[in-house]
Amino acid sequence: MRYVDLSGAIGLVGRLLASTESRGVAGVICVYLALGMSHAFTVTPFLPIDERAHVGYALSISRGELPEVRTRLQTRELGLRRSGRYSTVWLANHPPLYYVLVAAPVRWGVQTGDVTAGVRLARMVSVVLGALGLIQVYRCVRLLLPRHPAVALAGAAFTGTVPGFVHICSLVHNDALAFFATASSVLASLAVLIRGPTPPGLLRAAFWLTVAALTRFSGLLSDAVLLLALAGAFVLHGRGPVWRRAALGCLGSGATAACVALASGWFYARNYSLYGDIAGTKATLTLFKRVPHGTALDGMTDPGNWLSVLDGAFGRLGGGFQLTGVAAEIPRLFAAAAAIGLLVLLVRTRSRFRVQLLGEPRTWGVLSCLALLCGVTLSLFVYRARGGSLHARYLYPALWVAASASAAGLACLRSALPLKLGVVLLTLFNLLVLDEYLLRTLRLTKLRDFVAYEALARGGVDEPGPWILAGLLLLCYGLITSIDAIGVTHRRLE
Q: What are phi and psi of 415, to 5 degrees?
A: -95, 150
User: Residue 397's closest CA among 214, 182, 205, 227?
Assistant: 182
| Counted domains in the chain | 1
**Half-sphere exposure (CA, 13 Å, Cβ side) for 344?**
20
pLDDT at 166: 97
Give the least confident one: 4-18, 92-106, 377-391, 471-485: 4-18
Task: Tell me the whole-structure pTM to 2 decimals.
Answer: 0.93
The answer on pLDDT for 124 being more than 50 is yes
Q: What is the pLDDT of residue 12?
A: 46
pLDDT the model gives residue 13: 56
Confidence at residue 449, expressed as pLDDT on a 0 to 100 scale:
58
Between these two residues, 147 and 456, which has the higher pLDDT value? 147
Per-residue pLDDT for 157 more than 60?
yes
For residues 14 and 277, the model is more confident at: 277
- pLDDT at site 353: 59
Quick check: is 106 in a domain? no
Q: What is the mean pLDDT of residues 118-143?
A: 97
Model confidence at 366: pLDDT above 80: yes
Whether residue 9 is predicted with pLDDT greater than 60 in this model: the reply is: no
Q: Quick check: 210 and 255 in contact, CB under 8 A?
A: no
Query: Does 440 map to a domain?
Result: no
The pLDDT assigned to 1 comes to: 40
For residues 207 and 470, what is the distance between their CA atoms, to the nearest angstrom?
37
Q: Give the tens place of pLDDT for each residue, 158-189.
A: 999 999 999 999 999 999 999 999 999 999 99
Q: What crossing angle do the helices spanning 361-385 and 399-410 adopt, rounded to 10°?
A: 130
Is 358 inside any structural domain?
yes
∠ Cα 465 129 411 (to 5°): 90
pLDDT at 8 over 70: no
Considering the domain boundaries, does residue 447 fall inside one?
A: no
Confidence of residue 2 (pLDDT cuts 50, 70, 90): very low
Q: Is residue 27 part of a domain?
A: yes
pLDDT of residue 357: 62
Mean pLDDT of 361-369: 91
Contacts of 36 (CB under 8 A, 6+ apart): 127, 130, 131, 166, 169, 170
Residue at 76 is within a domain: no
With respect to residue 377, please indicate whether it lies within any of the assigned structural domains: yes
Q: What's the whole-number average pLDDT of the chain?
A: 89
pLDDT of 430 > 70? The answer is: yes
Quick one: how far is CA 205 from the chain centroid? 19
Percent of the chain with pLDDT over 90: 67
Q: Is residue 389 part of a domain?
A: yes
321: which strand partners? Answer: 317
The predicted-structure confidence for 207-246, as pLDDT tens digits, reads as follows 999 999 999 999 999 999 999 999 999 999 888 888 899 9
The pLDDT of residue 349 is above 90: no
Segments forming the whole domain that contains residue 418: 21-43+125-429+463-489
Per cent of the chain over pLDDT 70 is 92
DSSP 130-191: HHHHHHHHHHHHHHH-TT-HHHHHHHHHHHTT-HHHHHHTTSS-THHHHHHHHHHHHHHHHH
Q: Residue 354 above 70 pLDDT? A: no
Structure-model confidence comparison of residues 344 and 355, the more confident one: 344
Q: For residue range 50-103, list pLDDT tens digits in order.
A: 999 999 999 999 999 999 999 999 888 998 877 767 889 999 999 999 999 999
Query: 306-338 pLDDT, tens per residue?
Result: 999 999 999 899 888 888 888 888 888 888 888
Average pLDDT over residues 386-406: 93
Task: Categorize the per-residue pLDDT at 446 as very low, low, confident or very high, splitting at 50, 70 and 90.
Answer: low
Contact between 341 and 410 (Cβ < 8 Å): yes
